[in-house]
Amino acid sequence: MIKTNLPIYLASKSPRRRKLLKQINLKFKSFSVDIDEVIRDKEKPYRNVQRLASEKMEVAKRLVENGIIITADTIVVLKGKIIGKPKNEADAKKMLKRLSGEVHTVYTGYSICNTWNSKNITDYEKTLVEFRKLADYEIDNYIKTGSPMDKAGAYGIQDDFGAVFIKKITGCYYNVVGLPLTKVYQSLMKIM
């Protein structure tokens, strides 16, 4: 268990990330930071997510004088192409049709900073996810729930119908949810 006298902050609006940190009994406050999440096509996926987590950290550090801050960013990569969050329902449908029957990679970059001692760790995790072949009606019904709209790759592996799209995962399950818990926990222990 993580014990510290410093306040801990999650700089993310993701309810999934909040739930994951609560799962490991971490006491924290959350707030969101807004940056222009620019994906650079020529930048490797793991570098994209680490850079975005670091950019979020720079904004978050202006808001927290003393404490431990956690930021993160998640992307989905299929056949070398980065798939972000869908812009609208038509975009979500197109994404899910592309993922259907394929194996993709989920990358989550995270940054953790202890503003008191200036220790900072930025890292990433990747997980392979195999989708089964999806029927058009399944995709349409899922989109009608609204769930895909705030998720990279237009699906959630947890808490909703997106879970039944997945045939197999190789790697960290929690990474697909939005935060690689083991790595985050180990990083938190190192910066105390």
Structure tokens at 60: 């978050």
Nearest-5° angle of CA 89, CA 168, CA 78?
50
Question: What does 81-129 look like in DSSP terms, one character per residue?
Answer: EEE---SSHHHHHHHHHHHTT-EEEEEEEEEEEETTTTEEEEEEEEEEE
Report the distance separating Cα 105 and Cα 99, nearest Å. Answer: 11
What is the set of active-site residues?
73
Structure tokens at 117: 């001692």
Report the distance separating Cα 30 and Cα 48, nearest Å. Answer: 23
Cβ(31)–Cβ(11) under 8 Å?
yes
